[in-house]
Amino acid sequence: MSSSRGPEEEPSMTDLIDSGRRFYEVKKYKRALEQFTRAMKSCSCARGLRRERCSCKNFEKVAAEGGSIFKEAMYNCKCDIGKTFNKCDNYQHAQALDFRAATFEALEKLDRAKKDAEWILELAPRLPDGYLRLGKIARLQKNNEFAWKVYTAGIHINSDNAGSSSLKLQQLYNARKPLHKHFSRKDPLRLPTEIVMLIFSFLDFVNLPPCLGVSKHWRRILTSPLHERLWRNMVFPGRSMKRAPRHDVLKKMLSWAGNGGARKIVIPLPKTFVLTQQKLMLLLQASASLEHLEIGPQSEGLLFPSNQKTWQRLRHVSIDGTGDPSKPAWSTAKIAIGGFPLSFLNNAAESLQHLGVVGIPDQWYRTQSIPMLPNLKTLRMSNTLTSRDSFPIFFLSDTFPRLEQLWIGPNIPNLDSNLLVGWREKWETVWNHLKVLIFEVSSVVGPISQVENSLMTLRCLTCLNHGNTLRHIRFDIPSDNSDRHGRNRVFSDSRYLYSDVEPPQQPQFRNLRSLGTKGFCISPEVSRAVFSEALITGKLTSLDIVFPTESLNDRIGDKSIHHLKGYDWIRGAPCVRSLGCYKFRFRSYPRNDEDLPLPQFLASFPNLETLSIFSEHYEEAEFASVVAAVLRVTHLKTIYTTSVKGAVMDQLRRVAESEGVTLIWGHEPQVWPVPLED
């Protein structure tokens, strides 16, 4: 009797995977690998062909460059594998690869395990299994940042995939959790260049070099041509500088700034900076595109380059020659006439628009050694020590003919108009563009004739162009507009003054925007005659009222009340947004608005926002009560004062805050150059 046996059936993928898992559990890893490999090869996605792994993909490189791991798995294939085979949606194929990768892990063959994990991503980029396995292997290889990026990529893909296993998604979150706190912090240098520049622009320049020590990557990126703008504004600190930069360090910084070197150099304290002649020459000669230069008091009398027309873009220069108080400004043993950089400024004359000089050279008082700057727009000149000489201000109109803004002082208390007669023929051409005039002096110095001559010079300056080009006037003078005989000095309602020198033009001030006269008292009658046109046309938005000083025979409050009454002509002007009230003294224990008229006067201005209020004629508590009365009836935004301090100031600030007003101890900041509206 004969018998027959049917052919043996091929085991299914499920059977092969189950068999491999049993071998894995008893640590028969070689047999397990055979079963998992057979299961992979039996998948129908191969269509009877031998399916190899694509070698085009480089997940680690893409992750390091901030690219998409999913897109790398999904689309990047230039070899024949991608053309021959499609993605595989058979979960058992991915499962067999996952188990084979786990077996290689057990055999400590991590490179082969990594290849299988990447193969899972290639076959099924939307399954969480490949991300879980590749992330785990990366952690075993101590590549934690890559592991974090792999887990994160898997979370992003599977969070949007409605068909993904919530269990596997939670496993991705759990695997990423110990890494997330450290690696989720974004390296700012991997952001777009514009954002990197914005972030680092908030750092002081002195804080940039320490950033180079964060890593080699940071040093390479921050010193690359892509970020050369970071090194172009070399603004060094003053007293807070802990360590002065060496010559070789400055040289490196200038090289990082690219072609043209620094655009802005600010050294407020050359002594702290240890500014030597060698450093100065390096900074200037390596910065052919320099636009802005500020150097503080120089104790060694440094010399500027004098024979080079290199700086064709230099627009702003501010220099201080008063480093050694025991010597005249710009003193140096190397040059007999001093170290003032006359040639340096003349060589930059075509581009220079803004000049600040602290320490007026003696030669300027003799109208000598003044640079010729035909395009200069703003000039700020001052001394650190009070000079008794009278400065011939009008001679500067020859050397700076297009000046728009002029700030004189402090410590230049005396100006000279004695030579005005010689200027009458060309008076119509003197400073036709002057828009801002500031004169600041802390004390009156010299004989009466010299003081009066100085005030007369101010009068002449305000008369230029009939005063109609002037937009901003600020006179900080501890004096009155009228002398003890009642004769007007600077501002007058009459063309004729008591002086032998009469200005050729009567000012009208049609375009005046602000009048600052802190300390300089002007009568209401003169103010009305001189400035009413600017107020009527709505151009005058800011002005100061300085009250006269009472004599011993005056009843307390009478003079201030009468003075304020004289300003009724400006009461309620809608154009007024800022007011200053100085040196007033109203009645003690006021019973009504007649005793204290200031609050109602200020309340009459519908658009008043800023008030500067100071008076040395009050005790702090009484002054605070005046300000509190003002707060109750006005709609101010900001108040400046220094007449109260300590506990009284704290209490007054709380009252101001309850009214929605910011109370600031100090004076309103003065911006220079003054912004000019069209």
| pLDDT tens-digit readout, 48-69 | 677 777 888 888 888 888 889 8
Is residue 659 a part of any domain in this protein?
Answer: no
CA–CA dist 373, 361 (Å, integer): 17
Highest mean pLDDT among 280-294, 301-315, 448-462: 280-294
Query: Over the stretch 148-200, which tens digit does the pLDDT of each residue have?
Result: 999 999 999 888 765 556 888 899 999 999 998 888 877 888 888 888 899 89
Is residue 64 a part of any domain in this protein?
Answer: yes
Tokens 């007003």 -> residue: 661
Polymer length in residues for the chain: 678
pLDDT band at 1 (very low <50, low <70, confident <90, very high): very low
Secondary structure (3-state) at 82: helix
Q: What is the mean pLDDT of the chain?
A: 87
Cβ proximity of 328 and 339 under 8 Å: no
CA–CA dist 677, 673 (Å, integer): 12
The dihedral region occupied by 583, where left means phi > 0, alpha psi between -120 and 50, and beta the remainder, is left
Which token pair is 442?
């802390």
Per-residue confidence (pLDDT) for residue 493, from 0 to 100: 73
pLDDT band at 352 (very low <50, low <70, confident <90, very high): very high
Of 465 and 636, the structure prediction assigns the larger pLDDT to 636
Is residue 109 a part of any domain in this protein?
Answer: yes
pLDDT at 2 over 80: no
Is residue 71 a part of any domain in this protein?
Answer: yes
Is residue 131 a part of any domain in this protein?
Answer: yes
pLDDT at 645 over 90: yes
In sequence order, the 6+-apart residues with CB closer than 8 A to the CB of 420 are 394, 460, 501, 503
Burial, 560: exposed, middle or buried (Cβ in 10 Å; 0-12, 13-18, 19+)?
Answer: buried
pLDDT at 548 over 90: yes
Highest mean pLDDT among 306-320, 326-340, 592-606: 592-606
Find the distance separating the first CA and the last CA of the chain, reported in whole Å: 120
Per-residue confidence (pLDDT) for residue 6, from 0 to 100: 44
Secondary structure (3-state) at 356: strand
Cβ proximity of 336 and 298 under 8 Å: no
Integer angstrom CA distances of residue 332 from 230, 301, 642:
35, 5, 41
Which structural domain, as residue segments, surrounds residue 38? 13-183
CA–CA dist 577, 562 (Å, integer): 24
Is residue 104 a part of any domain in this protein?
Answer: yes
pLDDT band at 497 (very low <50, low <70, confident <90, very high): very low
Integer angstrom CA distances of residue 489 from 79, 443, 496, 546:
93, 17, 11, 16
Query: What is the phi/psi pair of residue 235, to 5°?
Result: -100, 105
In sequence order, the 6+-apart residues with CB closer than 8 A to the CB of 428 are none
Question: What Rg do the C-alpha atoms of the chain give, in angstroms?
Answer: 40
pLDDT at 145 over 50: yes
Query: What is the phi/psi pair of residue 137, to 5°?
Result: -65, -40
Per-residue confidence (pLDDT) for residue 446, from 0 to 100: 67
The percentage of the chain sitting over the pLDDT mark of 70, rounded to a whole number, equals 92
CA–CA dist 376, 586 (Å, integer): 46
Over the range 101-139, which residues count as b (16 or more CB within 10 Å of their CB) and which as e?
A: bbbbbeeeebebbbbbbbbbbbbbbbbbbbbbbbbbbbb
Alpha helices by DSSP H, listed for 521-579, are 524-536, 558-565
CA–CA dist 405, 195 (Å, integer): 37
CATH number at residue 111: 1.25.40.10
Three-state secondary structure of 90-135: CHHHHHHHHHHHHHHHHCCCHHHHHHHHHHHHHHCCCCHHHHHHHH
pLDDT band at 8 (very low <50, low <70, confident <90, very high): low
Residue ranges of E strands in 191-263: 233-235
Is residue 62 a part of any domain in this protein?
Answer: yes
Per-residue confidence (pLDDT) for residue 502, from 0 to 100: 55
H or E segment at 319? strand 316-320
Query: What is the phi/psi pair of residue 82, to 5°?
Result: -65, -30
Per-residue confidence (pLDDT) for residue 326, from 0 to 100: 66
Per-residue confidence (pLDDT) for residue 4, from 0 to 100: 41
Per-residue confidence (pLDDT) for residue 176, from 0 to 100: 93
Domain count, the chain: 1
Q: What residues form DSSP beta bridges with 514?
A: 472, 542
Average pLDDT, integer, range 441-459 = 79
Integer angstrom CA distances of residue 20 from 106, 423, 627:
14, 109, 90
Query: Over the stretch 391-436, which tens digit does the pLDDT of each residue have?
Result: 889 889 999 999 999 999 888 888 887 656 666 677 788 899 999 9
Cβ proximity of 172 and 151 under 8 Å: yes
The dihedral region occupied by 431, where left means phi > 0, alpha psi between -120 and 50, and beta the remainder, is left
Query: Over the stretch 219-261, which tens digit does the pLDDT of each residue have?
Result: 999 999 999 999 999 999 888 888 889 999 999 999 999 999 9
Which token pair is 178?
């110990």
Dihedral angle computed from the Cα positions of residues 652, 655, 659 and 661, in that order, rounded to the nearest 10 degrees: 30
Question: How is residue 620 annotated by DSSP?
Answer: H
Query: Helix and strand tally (H, E) in the chain?
Result: 25, 17
CA–CA dist 415, 80 (Å, integer): 90
Per-residue confidence (pLDDT) for residue 263, from 0 to 100: 96
Cβ proximity of 310 and 333 under 8 Å: no
Average pLDDT, integer, range 577-594 = 94
Alpha helices by DSSP H, listed for 143-207, are 144-159, 166-183, 193-201
Listed residue (583, 612, 602, 614) closest to 670, CA to CA: 612
Is residue 570 a part of any domain in this protein?
Answer: no
CA–CA dist 267, 379 (Å, integer): 20
CA–CA dist 25, 128 (Å, integer): 24
β-pairing, 472-476 with 436-440? Answer: parallel
Per-residue confidence (pLDDT) for residue 498, from 0 to 100: 42
Query: Over the stretch 510-533, which tens digit does the pLDDT of each residue have?
Result: 999 999 998 899 999 999 999 999
